Structure 1
């Protein structure tokens, strides 16, 4: 983010405030839309590259995010495999059923997903194994 004096502001400075004020979902939507357009403009698929996009914990329960991603894919005609959406371990553990549905929807669109910050939270490999089994069989 750029401040009013043109200086760069680190995400660590404003993301906590954005989450507290429930503005984080709008940031996630903007980031997802911009990432898809960037991947299209840079022709990442044609170059054998992909872009990883971090999503906040709140994105899992945002009813507008997945439709926005799907709509933006249609608008750009990009290969969804150009994008890897990263979801934190903590977000998945807080609501594994919600996370499973979210990831399954990304997978159905052709996207990849990654587990971000694995090992920082309190999950176990059995929870991770359960998540992988559910997603890989849908």
Structure 2
């Protein structure tokens, strides 16, 4: 799998809003609806995020580097996207998990594009979350 481009985005209000809605309620931090009406989301539990290292922007680089996150998602995608020839990682977003009772926790969301015969296969819900402890969380239907 090849990385075509990495765009690191420090997501502010929109992602914080999504996380705040999900906070402690069993809702996804990111979601979409497939063309058949199936809902797909990324679910990060409070226990999962609290198990990660605290970090803030003024402390330098994140506890988990982008290159380490890339490797983890690459390995995860090999098992997840078996019917495709490969998967490209297109965009990394660094997102603050913003719940009142959980402070200074961050995670990556990686946008993925599966390929068959070199052609991109577009669809909703092709992402993975990577926590700062190296845990990769894939989307699931709900």
TM (normalized to structure 2)? 0.27
User: Which structure has greater helix proportion?
Assistant: 1
| Structure with higher RCO (Cα < 8 A, 6+ apart) | 2
User: Which structure has greater strand proportion?
Assistant: 2
TM (normalized to structure 1)? 0.27
Structure with max Cα Rg: 1
